[in-house]
Amino acid sequence: MEKITYASLATLGEDFHRAFELALVHERKKLDAVHPMFIAGKSVKAAKTFSDFNPAQPALVLGRFQSGGREHAKKAIAAAKTAQPFWRELGFPARVNFLRKAAELMTKHQFELAALLTLEVGKNRFEAIAEVSEAIDLILYYCQQIETYKGYEMPMSGSTIEKTKTVLKPYGTFAVVAPFNFPFALATGMAAAALITGNTVVFKPASDTPFSGLRIHELLHRAGIPVGVFNYITGSGSEIGAELMANQDLDGIAFTGSREVGMDVIRNFQQQRTRPCICEMGGKNACIIMPTANIDDASEGVMRSAFGMGGEKCSACSRVYVHQSIAKQFTDALVAKARAIKVGDPAERDTFLGPLINESAVERFERGVKLGKKDGELLTGGKRLKDMGEGYFVEPTIVANLAPKSKWFEEEFFSPLVAVNTVKSLEEGLALANTSGFGLTAGIFTQIEDEQREFFDRIEAGATYCNRRGGATTGAWPGVQSFGGWKGSGSTGKNALGPWYVPQFLREQSQTLVSK
């Protein structure tokens, strides 16, 4: 089956819709089963289970998963540690073959995987297939990287009697802790980088999206990954997370989630010894709109970034600083686009905005609306859509003219909520954009080259965009845009999807051989 690519996403037609709808029927037949954890290749059950719900219809149980605890995390870590020497010694060409086989299987089942994401996360079908496509390309790109650099082994300068080379070697065993919003792509990317480099993995998906995580395990298992190399455990973050932080047999962790949890990971994981913490921790992303901006492009780009996937992505645009000379034109256009969005069942082909992930997400949205109304004015939206059943549906919402020191600008609400404030200059816009403790993504709309250069030179963010109609602050792709954060948005300064990500799962050894 042909893989849907970065370029072909914009041209999906009737064949795509037919294939997606058939896959949706297929996935619905699998619902409400009980699923185990997998440790050392064996299915494992806990004393209790928890239910995985469809956020569009919370009464619809997708499956029941194990409420694993610290003892399960210990066993998974032990299994991964035992398997690691064999996995390391296989060498990177063999590991690449296993991962490429997994990518082939993902391609073969891309529509079923996308349908599951629609059911479990609430993504519309285009966002769902894009996530699956990104996961496939993450594997292929990281495989390409390790091959290009020949396993990260290279000769160094020496002499006639001394020959020296530098080698990057795996740390050992990594925990991979994935978020709910991109449960397939982000989990696949973190796990693939760890696995390709010779590390073994203990994988914990978010409790809102264990089904997507299970699919990753199944595909890697079918690709022939050896027993114990990839272990899948489910349960509460407090129970399993506590063991992941404390267990000294773990050699590293890759985490994507909130800044609050990410900072706890960084502090706790390294208490007893220095270990790599590769953490991506959210954003409060700004877009600056200057007088020469194309208003339609700018309003479309902000709308897609702010409201795509319900704003439940760390790259979502949540702050707009628009030049006062075009503020009314831009705001009117953005409000009109927001009001035209179809909110509804994400399984329907013309839905743009599906549900938020759970009740806590709705409460976070309502807190953001309340604060926006208190410190500014509500332009459109602001309500939970209670006439759409029990699903977690809310309106795309725009607030404006917030007090510059409002707490609104400090919190990541992770919902379809954006604030628009006016500025008098690019200087003011950059200063306000850079005040945030986050530094993930940022965008600008301007036709003036000097303003474009100044933006890229001075903005404090890891992924930056100029004049991007398809997403003012969103839309990175493996090998096209690297994606990661500065300041409180990331821990390493080396971004996923880019050329410097994979080496973070390795440590360097210099080897000098003296000949007599």
d(CA 202, CA 81): 10
d(CA 414, CA 283): 9
User: In 3D, which of 325, 248, 240 has the Cα closest to residue 81?
Assistant: 248
Q: Which of 27, 120, 131, 280 is catalytic?
A: 280
Q: What are phi and psi of 443, to 5 degrees?
A: -140, 165
User: In 3D, which of 460, 494, 464, 489 has the Cα closest to residue 476?
Assistant: 464
Partners of residue 507 on adjacent β-strands: 169
Structural element, H or E, at residue 139? helix 125-148
d(CA 260, CA 111): 34
In the structure, how many helices (H) and strands (E) does the chain have? 14, 22
d(CA 187, CA 181): 10
Task: Determine the residue type at 151.
Answer: G
Beta strand 57-66 with 153-155: parallel, antiparallel or unpaired? unpaired
What pLDDT is attached to residue 12? Answer: 85
Asked if residues 19 and 26 have their Cβ atoms less than 8 Å apart, the reply is no
Q: What is the sign of the dihedral through the CA atoms of 224, 226, 227 and 231?
A: negative
**Residue 108 burial (C-beta neighbours within 10 Å; 0-12, 13-18, 19+):** middle
Which pTM does this prediction carry? 0.96
Averaged pLDDT, groups of 10, the chain, 516 residues long: 70 91 95 96 97 96 98 98 98 98 98 98 96 98 97 89 95 97 97 98 98 98 98 94 96 95 92 93 96 98 96 96 98 98 95 97 97 97 92 98 93 96 98 96 98 98 97 94 94 94 97 90
What pLDDT is attached to residue 158? Answer: 77
120 assigned to active site:
no
d(CA 175, CA 278): 10
What pLDDT is attached to residue 161? Answer: 87
d(CA 476, CA 473): 9
Q: Which tokens in the block code for residue 392?
A: 């977690």
314 assigned to active site:
yes
CA triplet 101, 229, 198: central angle to 5 degrees? Answer: 80
Q: What is the sign of the dihedral through the CA atoms of 482, 203, 139 and 511?
A: positive
Q: Which of 143, 277, 287, 314 is catalytic?
A: 314
What pLDDT is attached to residue 37? Answer: 98
Asked if residues 501 and 139 have their Cβ atoms less than 8 Å apart, the reply is no
